[in-house]
Copies of this chain bind each other. A is one copy, B any other.
Amino acid sequence: MDIMGGDFAPEATVSGAILAKEDLNSNAELILIGDQNQIKNILKEKGYSQDYFEIIHANQTIQNGENPAKAFSQKPWSSIKQGYALLEEGRIDGFASAGNTGAMMVGAMYTIKPVAGIIRPVITASIPQFNGDFAILLDVGINPDCKPDVLYQYGVVGSIYAQHVYKKENPRVGLINIGEEEEKGNLVVRSAYEMMKGTKNFNFVGNVEGNEIFDSKADVLVCDGFVGNIILKEAEALYKLLRRKGIKDEYFERFNFENIGGTPLLGVNGNIIIGHGISNHIAIKNMIIHTQYVIEANLSEKIKEAFQ
């Protein structure tokens, strides 16, 4: 876990790590990557021993405003650079960060690299469904312009993620669209539909409209990063409105994006989990637990196999 990344680091990241350690499987090892003095001070304040965690010292931080590529190459002792180095060396099985998303992407591209055959690695979001389940939405902002074959690949990788991490049998893949019928949509989406409809690589269930995204019509919802980002942020907005109105409800609490942990970067040669900058300690905890699931599922390897 990158301890230096995120708006509330290192306080929230260390607190989240403490919470996570209690819930992780006994064979899981949690390693903190960050400034060891700061980490040890926080542990001390909270009454934990200085060696409660294994720490890899990294005393540089890539801030959110920094140019990702520049910062990644110019800050060798940044937690993000160190995290990728550990992953490349095989010393860790997965790396999670709520830091600069661009730098996390750059790190993946420069070090572990995309899986051969993957056109664009992609990040996802969990969309709470009314029946209590989640659907995986992808892309949510990395690739605002997607060609049809990129959308098709999202169906493949999203399906693998749903199957191996969320343990869904034969996950249903839907295409976000503006109508039920095959001929609806913009040019790219219509071509993607054509590619998806006969596929044997995933269980394509057709179009899913904006008013159906909470209705469990599919386990995986495919769209470009522009549309996915709007969908995700509109859901955030709706949650914010409910809070402002003082409406509390268990279902809608699942839209509380502050608590939502990270999401894997799908399509790279390693298990990378990227979290929101605004992550609080609960989000960090959830992110670490999710990283465990992703490692256990051997997710990046499963995607690699599918593209061999």
Question: B186, B211, B233, B245: which contacts A249 (Cβ < 8 A)?
Answer: B245
Interface membership of A307, Cβ < 8 A: no
In the bound assembly, the distance between CA atoms of A144 and B212 in angstroms comes to 19
Interface: A240 (CB within 8 A):
yes
Q: Which of A10-65 touch B at CB < 8 Å?
A: none
Given known contacts A227-B227, A245-B249, A145 and B187 CB-to-CB distance under 8 angstroms = yes
Copies of the protein in its oligomer: 2
On whether the beta carbons of B235 and A234 are closer than 8 Å, the reply is yes
A2–B237 Cα distance when bound, in Å, is: 37
Interface string of A235-252 (1 = CB under 8 A from B): 111101100110101011
User: Which chain A residues numbered 164 to 221 have a C-beta less than 8 Å away from chain B?
Assistant: 176, 178, 185-187, 189, 209-215
A4 to B: closest C-beta gap in Å: 23
Cross-chain contact B186 with A130 (CB below 8 angstroms): no
Tell me whether A229 and B210 are in contact (CB under 8 A). yes
Q: Does A77 contact B (CB under 8 A)?
A: no
Whether A189 and B226, one on each chain, are in contact in the complex, defined by CB atoms closer than 8 angstroms, is yes
A48-B226 Cα distance, complex, nearest whole Å:
53
Taking CB atoms, residues of chain B closer than 8 Å to A214 are: 237-238, 241
**Please, which residue of chain B has its CB at the minimum distance from the CB of A141?**
B178
In the assembled complex, the Cα of A141 lies from the Cα of B177 at a distance in Å of: 11
A128-162: contact bitstring with B at CB < 8 Å (1 yes, 0 no)? 00100000000001001100000000000000000
- Decide if the interface of chain A is mainly helix, strand, loop or mixed: helix
Q: How far is the CA of A236 from the CA of B236 in the complex (A)?
A: 15
Whether A232 sits at the interface, judged by CB under 8 Å, is: yes
Name the B residues within 8 Å of A178 (CB-CB).
141, 144, 225-226, 229-230, 233
Contacts of A212 in B (CB 8 A): 233, 237
CA distance A233 to B217 in the complex (A): 15
Most buried by B among A189, A237, A244, A247: A237
Cross-chain contact B245 with A251 (CB below 8 angstroms): yes
C-alpha gap A163/B211 in the complex (Å): 30
A129 to chain B, nearest CB (A): 10
* A interface residues (Cβ-Cβ under 8 A, vs B): 130, 141, 144-145, 176, 178, 185-187, 189, 209-215, 224-227, 229-238, 240-241, 244-245, 247, 249, 251-252
30 A–B contacts, CB within 8 A, in A order? A130-B241, A144-B178, A144-B185, A144-B186, A145-B187, A176-B230, A178-B225, A178-B226, A178-B233, A186-B226, A209-B229, A209-B233, A210-B231, A210-B232, A210-B234, A211-B234, A211-B236, A211-B240, A212-B237, A213-B234, A213-B237, A214-B238, A214-B241, A230-B231, A231-B234, A234-B234, A241-B251, A245-B249, A245-B251, A247-B249
